[in-house]
Amino acid sequence: MYRRTSNMAGLTYPPAALTALKEVDHWSFDVFSFHEATGDHALKFLVYDLLNRYDLINRFRIPVQALVQFVEALESGYTIHDFEHTGTTNNFHIHTRSEVAILYNDRSILENHHVSAAYRLMAEDDMNILVNLNKDDWRELRALVIEMVMSTDMSCHFQQIKTMKTALTQTLSLDKVKVLSLMLHAADISHPAKAWPLHYRWTHSLMEEFFRQGDKEVELGLPFSPLCDRKATMIAQSQIGFIDFIVEPTFSVLIDTTEKVIGPLIEEDRKARETGTRRSSLTGSGSVTVEAVQRHSSNRHGNSDDGQLDFSLTAIDLPAMKQNLSDVIGSNKDRWKELSTLELASKEKADKEEEQSNVNSDVQSNASPSHSVPDGQTTEQSQEGSPPDEERQDDTPPVHLTYNGAGLAEEKEDEEEVPEKA
């Protein structure tokens, strides 16, 4: 509906999108609602809005029409760091010997493809958003993008966290590329740090993607990858482990990194305000002023001065941010613990029913055909008056102990599914 609505002056925002964008600076920003408000063009409007807000379109002389067409192309394949994702893992590609696995020698297969495919888009003249960068800047940006996207490979996670912890304790300054890579990686796995409704929705979308891979593995005769068996996977338990071993350590390092990077800037800004000397920008280059960001937010979204967010460095409350993240993640983990109790009880019940079904099947398979009793007859009548099977005249089947296996499967699936309004 909103495709090709741009011109050289910018995009035309749907009214509902402007309303949703008023919350973009809040941690609880609902990207799902924003996606609906933009007619399924969340990426296009959000990228344009942020680049415009920080004056990056002008600073890097990005052609607006090329930017819009590039982001629209990205939307059809997700986002740059997951562009043209297949919905399957790197290991799945390795085991199935896929074309991209062969191309990238089984190493960070999808991540290599994401960057390569995104840059192929920018090779097109009508989507070349970097056309006005000089060679040195183009190469620096490309190296940065490659490093950041490659760092989203979960096989790099533990080494990445270890490296950042070491750097935090042993160096006075931090490598920019490593910091930005950590930020993207944290954003990539951040849904457990979001409000429960958002986290819950992301979780089930992700799990359904895993389960579909498991379905493919069954078709191909491959063993299930972790979390891909839709009948046996314990969703609540998996999320508790994910939070404990991946999310909490990542955000802990992210907070420490943020404090080391921003802490000195906050102190510098505080002293400047006390002495009446104003910093010209967030970066010190004079290109992106706090006032410009505030003015853009107010003008673009129709905000009044009342309730306007303070973008100044002194307004950043790192201890409060750390506490908020800890509280949200802890609350979500507690919710999963509650659901885990129900999940385990459901699994125990299903296991008992399956065990009983197996017992009944054993009884059935061990029963002698001569002891099968037709409906309406006693055992004695069957033994004394019934003809042998080959001489049976009626079509009445013999009575066997049976179990509705299909019914069990349906009931089990219902019980293992996390309630919609948990």
Binding-site positions for Zn(2+) read 81-82, 188
Chain mean position to CA 404: 38
Q: Is 369 exposed, middle or buried (0-12, 13-18, 19+ CB in 10 A)?
A: exposed
H/E run at residue 322: helix 318-366
DSSP string, 114-165: HHHHHHHHHTSGGG-TTTTS-HHHHHHHHHHHHHHHHTT-GGGHHHHHHHHH
Specify the 3-state DSSP secondary structure of 2.
coil
| Cα distances (angstroms) measured from residue 409 to each of 177, 223, 350, 404, 405 | 50, 21, 9, 9, 6
CA distance 235 to 200: 11
Q: Which residues are CB-neighbours of 257 under 8 A, at least 6 positions away?
A: 164, 168, 174, 179, 182
Amino acid letter at 265?
Answer: L
CA distance 24 to 194: 14
Amino acid letter at 5?
Answer: T
Specify the 3-state DSSP secondary structure of 45.
helix
Annotated binding site: 81-82, 188
